[in-house]
Chain A
């Protein structure tokens, strides 16, 4: 049962990725936070395009800038943040847009799902109220209709007995169910783009699958494009067609999922994949973690930020930061000076502990993709 919400018929395109218009174009986005220790350059020039109905994943460890860049798209960064570059949605520039206009887009054309379901929902209002609020903010309908829509949405995301659950409070639901409510809120007005910022990170593995299922159901129902942000490569593999890998505030590799997973070029990506335990591969070698920690974004020296942890780093890496350039011409790009050398390398080739690498920093933790 669907409700007539004055849905614009041109809003629901087919889910064919090619030849579609570019819905969201992020160009050279930079975000800097002033702190008392200096300027923290959280995002240092990120560009990507999201087409109608497609799904892209942004992978990176904590501090790589992936969440900040999507908060910038939504216009939800604190006032002290300095944002440069361009974010265009359907041709309209979002950065610097008036707040009232921005509100009309948020929750309507672009929606967001946040990481921690236990704190994302307001504890004093029922979940039905919070979903209906999203309906009523952008549509002139009655409260009854909004409530019906809320029940419908709860059904789509897989909440059992939605007619009763609609009057529950958030604390009466488990984490996984709450996250599904958040997904329901995001899909309320059939947005064009859904940004999911680490939607499964705070949840148990068994619950993760359910939440991801709900996310797919939301995409099916709304035809929205998905920007999936996570540090979990396993989650990305099943739900994104294209992948962008972020490191220290910049994209270091982009391409289709197959390209990035099976033919990675940038050593960081190789390291990530190499540290991932895989059930689908016969593995004779040990896991190869990447030694060291991500750099501080306060005093980034020139050159490639991955250099101290990179096994094939050379002098040029210290001097010059590599640009994100295409490798094979198939839309697969990597930011590494040796992008052509790494063509058929595997992680253990580069990262094995016996090979002569630069001395790793002492007192380190080991970094894995988990």
Chain B
């Protein structure tokens, strides 16, 4: 999308003569155009707000809410009321505070997965795609191999003996997701490598590093952004799945996945323990997915979206 960094189109002259007229549309930089396209995607824009609200809820909420997740109250197993909007559990913990904490932890894991996974995958893919030859084959064989094993099984096996801390789970899931990103990025790099502007740069004497950093990497940013959102959304669901099979985040750490796993037996008697954390997981994943969709629309100039 970016090609060599140039501005687009002709400017109107500043000193019009008698036959001059403003014929062209206002010039815009590519990023601003992408932003405009993103904002046109109403659901994605709304999702940005929802996601920001979720972040506020998780990280600022505990500072203003009267209960916390460490000290239990005297209200046992209460359904949602004004005092306890999400009810309480059998020990008396206020679920509103508990879900805040769970959301915060889940968001942290999701971000680790998203950022580490994308960066690792990007590096993997760029090196493989640019250098080519046996390095490429080798790196991609490894990626394919990892992808032959069901991610859940792989993650569970790797996480099993690690202690179940938040960071570890995040890193394990990031490692499992990186090959996918590597494949995608490698594809982009391969197609870019053949483009003439790379050849031109080489002809001008640019070093391999310079090409990789100044030309290839910026052009992979759109793909990376979209994939990062994908990883974040899938990451949160993966963490949930890991918790369910028992190999995810272990107590005393908590997360939304842990919450619904422990609440599954209570579905009949205390459904609020099951529903609220689940809804929050859906909100996070859904908003991130929509944002990713909006980013894809915004950053892919080939899509011509006609007005309805």
Task: List residues of A whose CB falls within 8 A of some B CB.
Answer: 33-37, 78, 80, 293, 295-296, 298-301, 307-308, 310, 313, 315, 317-318, 358-359, 361-364
Contact = CB atoms under 8 A, between A and B. Distances in A.
Nearest to B37: A36
Contact of A301 (B10, B18, B21, B308): B21
A23 B203 CA distance: 56
B25 A299 contact: yes
Interface residues of B, number: 19
Nearest to B23: A295
A46 B158 CA distance: 70
B27 to A, nearest CB: 10
Given A298-B25, A299-B22, A364-B10, A36 B15 contact: no
Main secondary structure of the interface of A (DSSP, over half): loop
A358 B20 CA distance: 8
Contacts of A307: 19, 21
Contacts of B15: 359
Q: Most B CB atoms within 10 A — which of A36, A293, A361?
A: A361
The 4 closest A-B pairs by CB, nearest first: A358-B19, A295-B23, A80-B306, A34-B307
Contacts of B20: 308, 358-359, 361
A80 B305 CA distance: 11
A78 B304 CA distance: 12
Interface string B4-26: 00000011110101111111110
Interface string B281-308: 0000000000000000000000001111
B195 interface: no
Nearest to A315: B18
Interface in B13-48: 13, 15, 17-25, 40
B306 A363 contact: no
Contacts of A299: 22-23, 25
A362 B24 CA distance: 13
Given A293-B10, A363-B11, A364-B10, A308 B21 contact: yes
Contacts of B11: 361-363
Nearest to A305: B23
Nearest to A318: B19
B67 to A, nearest CB: 48
Given A359-B17, A361-B12, A362-B13, A36 B23 contact: no
Given A358-B18, A358-B20, A359-B17, A296 B307 contact: no
A35 B307 contact: yes
A361 B13 contact: yes
Contact of B23 (A35, A296, A315, A362): A296
Contact of A33 (B13, B23, B306): B306
A273 to B, nearest CB: 22
B10 A361 contact: yes
Given A361-B13, A362-B11, A364-B10, A308 B307 contact: no
A286 B22 CA distance: 30
Nearest to B18: A358
A296 B24 contact: yes
Contacts of B13: 359, 361-362
Given A295-B24, A296-B25, A361-B13, 4 more contacts: A34-B306, A298-B25, A313-B19, A318-B19
A358 B10 contact: no
A2 B12 CA distance: 60
A37 B304 CA distance: 13
Contacts of A293: 10
A160 to B, nearest CB: 33
Q: Most B CB atoms within 10 A — which of A35, A78, A80, A308?
A: A308
Contacts of B24: 295-296
Given A362-B13, A364-B10, A36 B21 contact: no
A308 B23 contact: yes
Contact of A358 (B12, B17, B40, B306): B17
Contacts of B19: 307-308, 310, 313, 317-318, 358
Contact of A36 (B10, B12, B307): B307
A315 B306 CA distance: 37
A87 to B, nearest CB: 22
Contacts of B18: 315, 358
Nearest to B305: A36
A62 B195 CA distance: 24
A317 to B, nearest CB: 8
A318 B308 CA distance: 34
Contacts of A298: 25
A359 B15 CA distance: 9
Nearest to B16: A359
A361 B17 CA distance: 10
A318 B22 CA distance: 12
B300 to A, nearest CB: 16
A203 B21 CA distance: 37
A364 B12 CA distance: 10
Q: Most A CB atoms within 10 A — which of B10, B15, B21, B305?
A: B21
13 contacts: A36-B307, A295-B23, A296-B23, A298-B25, A301-B22, A301-B23, A307-B21, A308-B20, A317-B19, A358-B19, A358-B20, A359-B15, A363-B10
Contact of A35 (B10, B12, B306): B306
Nearest to A248: B23
B18 to A, nearest CB: 7
Nearest to A357: B19
Contact of B307 (A80, A310, A358, A363): A80
Contacts of A308: 19-21, 23
A303 B5 CA distance: 37
A61 to B, nearest CB: 14
A78 B308 CA distance: 12
A34 B3 CA distance: 28
A342 B99 CA distance: 82
Contacts of B10: 293, 361, 363-364
A313 B20 CA distance: 11
Contacts of A364: 10
A310 B20 CA distance: 11
Contacts of A33: 306
Contacts of A362: 11, 13
